[in-house]
Amino acid sequence: MSLGASQLPLPAILTLLGVLLPGPGGAQISVEPPKAIIPRGGSVQVTCIATCDEDTFFGLETQLMKREVAHGNNRKTYELSNVQEDSAPICFSNCHNNQTTATTSLTVFWFPERVELESLPHWQPVGKNLTLRCQVEGGAPRPHLSVVLLRGEEELSRQTKVNLTEVTATVLAGRDDHGANFSCRTELDLRSEGLGLFQNVSAPRQLRTFVLPVTDPHLAAPLIMEVGTRWLVNCTLVGLFPASEAQVMLVLGEQKLEPTVKYNDDFLWASAWVEAKSEEEGTHQLTCAVILGNQSRRSQQTVTIYSFPAPSLTLSQPEVSEMTVVSVECKAHAGAMVTMLSGAPAGPPASSVQFQLNVTAEDNGHSFLCSAALEVAGEVLYKNKTLKLHVLYGPRLNEKDCPGNWTWQEGSQQTLRCQAWGNPTPKLDCRQNGTGFLLPIGDLRPVKREISGSYVCRAKSSRGEVIREVVVNVIYHDNNVIIIVLVTALVIVSVVLTGAYLYNRQRKIREYKLQKAQEAAAMKLNTPP
């Protein structure tokens, strides 16, 4: 009470006088009300009442602005206005030269002008203590002021009779605190003074908490990538919170990849396609960084992008005729070595291997295999190339695949084979000399005698024509004797039967004629005369 201190001399002297010159009996002055609580800048009426029997000199001693509003026989009422601070005006009286005083206590109240929660860290690690600081400026009377720190509506701490400008509280940050709103509230409790409970609340501040495990993310990517291939590289991290707020960066060399990020409660999975391009040949660092809060975790891996075309396998001539010499050559691309070429004598790896071959018809369709090796990042890779040999030969008709003499029993079941060989495949045509009948190649069931004969088979291709004679003999038994015997027998039987018939007929005619004669004779006898 600075004002009280500056006022001290006068009341002190008056009090001292009162003590030194004590009055005849009882107090000669009193004040109404003895105490009052008023809002800052407000007004109050104070009445001084003198109890001296004679006219006394009395009044109010104060530095406040005062105005006498009522005047009675031995009482005076003053209005004190614009009261900014607590003060203690004094009523005094002078009775029989005995001065007495009475003091009234004026308490000023006002609400805090500033209640503010200091800004929270941008991100708060879970498991670390967080200090909440509330700035409270102004407000009186302080012994009636409490400061409450809140999480949402929940009271975290309450400090009463606060006489400082900053109130702090420590909370252990948890996952539950992520997204929680913190605030601070002042309570000026004047209920004991017949007034109310006055609250002022700071603006809320939202907290973001996070957990980033000490382990680094797991990076899954191939160590080597061939130019022209596409790979899905993955980066995962377990145990982070809140996974949805984490940022992931996947970088290959200088190139920033565009990862697809998926997550659940505490698991993060990022994947991105990497296309190995020829201009990126060489080694690169693949980095995965997970950023959460103000921290980050990263993993790195070396990726080698290489180019390894298959070796080139060539023939000296694209089309080869039998009995000619061709050279087979296999060349590896820069950096690679030919380790094997089928048909060539084994030797140390070389950038190119070649050999000569006198091709025969049997070589048609034969495959050559060339294998080349390349070492990439300590790993030996192989690439193969095959080449099929096409030998031009023929046409050919030989005894083995087109036998020239078939002899069969009539009616038996046989298979007639005739196959022409050659590359290109020849056209085969077998016809009977003269008649032009086609040779029935394939299953014959049964063999008929009509097919016997001599045929000429022609195999024809762009490389020429060959002819082969095929003779088919069908053996059968002559059945003429039986037919003659049967015909003879038939003739004899017919002659005998005809003879028998004729004899029988003649006999019947004779019998008839005899009968007719008898009947005529009988009629002559019976006729009356």
Ligand X SMILES: *[C@@H]1O[C@H](CO)[C@@H](O)[C@H](O)[C@H]1NC(C)=O
Question: Are 132 and 147 in contact, with CB atoms under 8 Å apart?
Answer: no
b/e string for 468-490 if b means 16 or more Cβ within 10 A? bebebebeeeeeeeeeeeeeeee
Residue 19, SS3 per DSSP = helix
Q: Which is nearer to ligand X, 77 or 354 (CB)?
A: 354
80 or 337, CB closer to ligand X? 337
Cβ–Cβ under 8 Å, residues 385 and 311: yes
Q: Which two tokens stand for residue 75?
A: 């009482």
Residue at shortest CB range from ligand X: 23
Binding map of ligand X across residues 184-213, x = CB under 6 A, - = no contact: --------------xxx---x-x-------
Total interface residues for ligand X by CB under 6 A: 48
- Out of 271, 304, 452, 461, the only residue in the binding site for ligand X (CB under 6 A) is 271
Q: What is the largest CA-CA distance in the chain?
A: 234
Residue 39 sits in the site that holds ligand X (CB under 6 A): no
- Which of 36, 108, 150, 180 forms a contact with ligand X (CB under 6 A)? 180
233 binds ligand X (CB under 6 A): yes
Q: What are the angstrom distances between the C-alpha of 42 and each of 84, 103, 432?
A: 8, 19, 143
Backbone dihedral angles phi then psi of residue 357, each to the nearest 5 degrees: -145, 130
Residue 301 sits in the site that holds ligand X (CB under 6 A): no
Sequence-distant (≥ 6) Cβ neighbours of residue 58 within 8 angstroms: 29, 48, 50, 52, 74, 76, 91, 92, 93, 94
Q: How far apart are CA 79 and CA 66, in angstroms?
A: 6
Structure tokens given for 158: 């309450």
CA of residue 189 relative to chain centroid, distance: 59
Q: Could you tell me which stretch among 65-73, 218-226, 417-425, 517-525 binds ligand X (CB under 6 A)?
A: 218-226
Interface positions, 106-125, toward ligand X (CB under 6 A): 111, 113, 121
Q: Is 129 in the site for ligand X (CB under 6 A)?
A: yes
Binding to ligand X by residue 343, rule CB under 6 A? no
Per CB under 6 A, contacts with ligand X among 137-176 are 152, 161, 163, 170, 172
| String marking each residue 379-418 x if it binds ligand X according to CB under 6 A | ---x-x--------------------x-x-----------
Enumerate residues 419-448 that contact ligand X by CB under 6 A: 433
- 179 sits near ligand X (criterion: CB under 6 A): yes
The answer to the question of residue 236 lying near ligand X (CB under 6 A) is: no
Distances (CA, A) of 21 to 12, 18, 59: 14, 5, 19
The correct pick among 22, 72, 174, 464 for binding ligand X (CB under 6 A) is 22
> Could you say which DSSP state residue 311 is in?
P
Interface residues with ligand X (CB under 6 A)?
21-24, 27, 96, 98, 100, 111, 113, 121, 129, 152, 161, 163, 170, 172, 179-181, 198-200, 204, 206, 220-222, 232-234, 271, 294-295, 323, 325, 340, 358, 371, 382, 384, 405, 407, 433, 454, 456, 469, 471
